[in-house]
Amino acid sequence: MSRLVMVFVVLIISLAVAIGVLWKEQASFVVSPIGKLMEKPLDKYTIENLSKRQSVGSQIVLDEAVATTSAYTVYQFHFTTADPTSSLDKSSGLRGAVKKMTGLALVPHSDSGNQYIKQYPVIVQFRGYVDREKYSPGEGTRHSSEVFAQHGFLTLAPDFLGYGGSASPSADALEERFQTYTTALDLIASVKTLPMADPDNIGIWGHSNGGQIALTVLEILHTPIPASLWAPVSKPFPYSILYYTDDALDRGKLLRRLLAKFEDNYDVELYSLTNYLDRLAGPMLMHQGGSDDAVPQAWSDQFVKKLKEQEKDVTYYIYPGADHNMSPDAWNTVVLRDVAFFQKWLKSGL
């Protein structure tokens, strides 16, 4: 009898193991209405899955200098970004489909005028939404980067896929959004390739949707990187998209259809930055205009409250009368507070 019991137990354990393996293999698939397994290609972009992705970075190449002042030189630059897939591109050392990414860099001058005589602390900047037709490199970051460079910070602002001289993004509107995270992660990992950049002293700056990108990247990295956030989009996904659909030519009909299909196949909670606030590890500085009609002050008020409930290091400033771009009167105060913040948390700024 005991022998039969043992055989039965072994069979049960084997069956459980087989079911577990099968479930794991099918975790990235969904069952269609006709009973066939369908691939879930966007599963690789969950915050947890991106946190497991290794960004090795690629060489940042400074291209032509487009402007020079006594304090800094402005360069267009490019590097290589990759989709988070398992295949390895041998030429670049990156995993996934490799794409060219362009951006704008401001490199400070040392006292001797030589850019390469020292390593500068780095501020990686993420802009908010801009229409492609109106975009030019540095749009949304140009003026703040000039102030940062004047104070000894090297700044890097990616154009993002589909902008500037960058490669085209995914044809899937949601994947294009998620690709901003992989772009940001690969840029941060690539900082070490610039001889005049200090890879151990990196800060992040984000405005509007760029603030959403910054927060998501900080959660993915789970690293104490100091960050300044100007009116960040901080609501849960996908409401953070749906809120703005009225501005589309079709009043958001196409995007709502895409999101409905996405919610049928994916767990949206795995893509929402509001579910991973515990992974924010560094000091944060938040600025909010009281007359902002793009990101309501209530969003930032509620978000900061959640951060403080989790005992996060966040300093929050509200500027009554200021709009989404901190105009008309708050901009200088905001950017100088940023300078002081990064001087506190990053070494070797002027």
136-164 pLDDT per residue, tens: 999 999 999 999 999 999 999 999 999 99
Question: What phi-psi label fits residue 106: left (phi over 0), alpha (psi between -120 and 50 degrees) or beta?
Answer: beta
pLDDT band at 39 (very low <50, low <70, confident <90, very high): confident
Return left, alpha or beta for 179; rule: phi > 0 is left, psi -120 to 50 is alpha, else beta: alpha
Reported as a single tens digit per residue, the pLDDT across 76-117 is 999 999 877 645 444 444 455 689 999 999 999 976 555 566
Question: What H or E segment, with its residue span, contains residue 11?
Answer: helix 2-25
For the residues of 220-258, what is the DSSP string, one character each?
HHTS---EEEES---SPTTHHHHTTGGGSTTTTHHHHHH
Residue 265 above 60 pLDDT? yes
Domain residue extents for the chain:
1-39, 54-345
- Cα separation, 216 vs 222, in Å, equals 10
Paired sense of beta strands 197-207 and 227-230, if any: parallel
74 and 66 in contact (C-beta within 8 Å)?
yes
Per-residue b or e along 34-50, where b marks 16 or more CB atoms closer than 10 Å to that residue's CB: eeeeeeeebbbbbbeeb
What pLDDT sits at residue 110?
Answer: 78
**Amino acid found at 154:** L
Q: Tens of pLDDT along 237-251?
A: 999 999 998 777 788
What kind of architecture, by CATH, is found in domain 54-345? 3-Layer(aba) Sandwich (3.40)
- Predicted pLDDT of residue 25: 43
The pLDDT of residue 26: 46
Residues 6+ apart with CB under 8 A from 272: 47, 236, 237
How many residues appear in the chain?
350
| Residue 292 scores a pLDDT above 50 | yes
Closest C-alpha among 28, 41, 43, 46 to residue 181: 46
pTM above 0.95, yes or no: no
pLDDT average, residue stretch 49-62: 93
More reliable by pLDDT, 247 or 129: 129
